[in-house]
Every structure is written in structure tokens, then in C-alpha cells.
């Protein structure tokens, strides 16, 4: 953590104490070089962001919040109560003011897939093009230790994948009800209809098990453990998850720990649904991110 980060967080807290409203901007767009077309995102700006009294203006940590299959940049604002949750936690002093970015990852599984006719190079578009755009367009703290990623289901897969594949870019990752597809092994076959509905060709047409195995979060564990800058990790799933995400979450957490990577594990009451993510998982994840920021040394 750079010495100035603690001071920037204190400034953000001071500005947020003033009576200034948060703002949620739906469906913003920027041109992504990796995609060759605009990428949509929604963004939450915390209380105090537009307060003119900051001198210098406050800067904020950023959480990238990734959706699941069938969702979009509008899903967490519409069904995940992201604005209400962040407002409540900031007002209560449980988290510092933070920016939350919700990109439209379509059914990309947050991998690059243009070469196999999939949705496109969404890993590069989000982890690089979008991050660079957000750092340039908004008052972020543009440092690894103030940049976090989380998501549910497909988004949990993406959050782990981003952080483990580029640990020098992400300070922490939190995976909620991750769709890990642990049963995929060499030779695994998936029928054409399910490949389209679930993966949209992100791992090839037909589904290429070897490509999936090379791009899944597990593929990056050893390198992340040896990197010297492993991200903080948090994994959670509901005990009534329809897709048995609690089992694959537990298994992956144990594997991470066996390689020397620390991970906070939570199996909670809940299923694979919006009430679980909205009422339990997301608030807990944001508080966990806040605890990481609070634990950073002041100098």
C-alpha cells in the first residue's frame, strides 16, 4: 500500500460526512479497443463525490461488480439494491465511501473469446480498457490496493479469474456463489444448446474443454501463489444453492489454502438467487473490502 492511500481515504471519509447525496448512473458507455465497440457500465458514486469543498477533491477506492449469466450492467441497480446497500453501509461507517462499477459482461464468462467466435475479448475490455477509462474519467485511487473485484455466479468465476491471473492489478477479489463448473475435465462434452445458452461460445463452438480448463480460475492459482503479490480472497455461497456452489466453493477454497493463498470462506443461509446476493452476500463483501482498506498502514 502506498503511503498516500490512507490520507486519500481519510479525505473521502471527511467529504462523505457532509450532506451530499450519492449518485447512480445507469448504462454509461465508452469505446473499448479490445471489443471494437462501446462497452456499457453502470456506476455508483458515493456521498460527497460531487461536494465542491474538497481541496484537493477526494479520491475513492473502486469495486468492480460482475454480473451472472443473463444479466447486464443494469442488474445490480435493478435487483441487487447496490445503491441502497452502499448508502446504508457508508452512512453507518461500516465501509469508507467507494465507487462501484458494474460492467455489462454479457455471457462472456469474463474471458477473451474473439478468436473462437465468442462474445469478444471481454477480459481485456473490462480488466484493462474499462479500468483505464474509470481511472481517467472519475476520481479514483488508481492503485492496486484500492481496486477490488467481486461478482456472483459467472461473475464470481470472473472475479477470481481476474485477480488470480493478474495479481499485480487487483488488491482483492470476492466470489459469490461462483459458477466454477468443477465437473469439466479433458474430453468433457456439452450439447450445442447449453453451450449457446450458458456460454455463448466463450470457450468455442463446440465447447472446448481444454480451453475452459486453461482459462478457469484454478489455472492461475500456482502463478498467483508464486507472484509475491497475491490478492486477498473471499468466497461465499449459500447452503441451499441450486447448483451446489457451496460444494465447489469449499473445494476451491481448500485448494487455495493448500497452495499458501489465504482465503476467507463463508457458507451462509441462502440459495443461488437475488435475495441471497442482495441481503447477505453483497453487504458482507463490501464490509470485507472496507476492512481491508481500514487495515492498511497510514504510512
Q: What is the pLDDT of residues 24-68, one digit of tens each?
A: 999 999 999 999 999 999 999 999 999 877 778 899 999 999 999
CA angle 247, 250, 253 (to 5 degrees): 150
240 within a domain of the structure (yes/no)? yes
pLDDT score, position 180: 98
pLDDT score, position 55: 74
Q: What is the DSSP letter of 1?
A: -
74 within a domain of the structure (yes/no)? yes
204 within a domain of the structure (yes/no)? yes
Query: Domain residues for 132?
Result: 4-294
C-alpha cell recorded at residue 248:
465447489
Q: Look at the alpha carbons of 117, 118, 123, 129 in this order and tell me if their dihedral is positive or negative.
A: positive
Determine the angle formed by the axes of helices 82-91 and 282-294, rounding to 10 degrees.
40
Residue 74 pLDDT greater than 70, yes or no: yes
62 within a domain of the structure (yes/no)? yes
C-alpha cell recorded at residue 241:
444453492
pLDDT score, position 298: 64
State the total domains in the chain. Answer: 1
pLDDT score, position 18: 52
pLDDT in tens, 89-138: 999 999 999 999 999 999 999 999 999 999 999 999 999 999 999 999 99
Average pLDDT over residues 3-25: 69
Helix (H) or strand (E) holding 23: strand 23-32
pLDDT band at 21 (very low <50, low <70, confident <90, very high): confident
Give the separation between CA 159 and CA 172, rounded to whole angstroms.
9
Contact 13, 89 (CB under 8 A): no
71 within a domain of the structure (yes/no)? yes
pLDDT score, position 209: 99
CA angle 95, 97, 102 (to 5 degrees): 100
pLDDT in tens, 236-252: 999 999 999 999 999 99
Give the separation between CA 250 and CA 237, rounded to whole angstroms.
9
Angstrom CA distances, 148 to 93, 123, 174, stand at 19, 15, 8
pLDDT score, position 243: 94
pLDDT in tens, 161-196: 999 999 999 999 999 999 999 999 999 999 999 999
- Per residue, what are the HEC states of 226-265? HCCCCCEEEEEEECCCCCCHHHHHHHHHHHHHHCCCCEEE
Give the separation between CA 126 and CA 120, rounded to whole angstroms.
11
169 within a domain of the structure (yes/no)? yes
Mean per-residue pLDDT over the chain, rounded: 95
Residue 7 pLDDT greater than 70, yes or no: no
248 within a domain of the structure (yes/no)? yes
Average pLDDT over residues 214-225: 99
pLDDT score, position 4: 66
299 within a domain of the structure (yes/no)? no
Report which of 44, 38, 23 is spatially closest to residue 130, judged by C-alpha positions.
38
Which CATH number fits the domain that encloses residue 200? 3.40.50.1820
Amino acid at each position: 500500500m502506498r503511503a498516500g492511500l490512507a490520507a486519500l481515504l481519510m479525505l473521502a471519509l471527511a467529504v462523505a460526512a457532509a450532506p451530499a447525496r450519492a449518485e447512480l448512473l445507469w448504462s454509461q458507455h465508452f469505446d473499448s479497443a479490445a471489443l471494437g465497440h462501446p462497452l456499457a457500465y453502470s456506476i455508483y458514486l458515493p456521498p460527497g463525490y460531487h461536494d465542491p469543498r474538497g481541496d484537493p477533491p477526494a479520491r475513492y477506492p473502486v469495486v468492480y461488480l460482475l454480473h451472472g449469466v443473463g444479466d447486464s450492467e443494469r442488474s445490480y441497480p435493478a435487483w441487487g439494491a447496490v445503491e441502497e446497500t452502499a448508502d446504508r453501509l457508508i452512512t453507518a461507517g461500516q465501509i469508507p465511501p467507494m465507487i462501484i462499477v458494474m460492467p455489462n459482461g454479457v455471457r462472456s464468462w469474463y474471458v477473451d473469446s474473439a478468436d473462437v467466435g465468442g462474445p469478444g475479448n471481454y477480459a481485456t475490455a473490462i480488466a484493462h480498457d474499462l479500468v483505464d477509462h474509470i481511472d481517467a474519467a472519475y476520481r479514483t485511487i488508481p492503485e492496486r490496493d484500492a481496486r477490488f473485484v467481486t461478482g456472483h455466479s459467472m461473475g464470481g468465476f470472473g472475479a477470481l479469474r481476474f485477480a488470480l491471473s493478474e495479481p499485480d492489478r487487483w488488491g482483492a477479489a470476492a466470489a459469490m456463489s461462483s459458477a466454477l463448473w468443477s465437473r469439466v475435465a479433458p474430453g468433457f462434452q456439452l450439447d450445442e444448446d447449453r453451450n449457446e445458452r450458458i456460454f455463448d461460445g466463450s470457450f468455442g463452438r463446440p465447447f472446448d474443454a481444454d480451453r475452459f480448463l486453461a482459462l478457469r480460475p484454478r489455472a492461475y492459482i500456482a502463478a498467483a501463489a508464486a507472484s509475491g503479490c497475491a490478492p486477498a480472497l473471499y468466497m461465499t455461497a449459500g447452503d441451499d444453492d441450486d447448483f451446489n456452489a457451496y460444494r465447489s466453493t469449499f473445494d476451491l477454497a481448500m485448494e487455495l489454502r493448500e497452495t499458501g493463498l489465504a482465503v476467507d470462506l463463508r457458507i451462509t443461509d441462502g440459495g443461488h438467487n437475488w435475495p441471497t446476493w442482495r441481503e447477505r452476500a453483497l453487504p458482507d463483501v463490501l464490509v470485507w473490502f472496507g476492512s481491508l482498506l481500514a487495515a492498511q498502514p497510514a504510512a
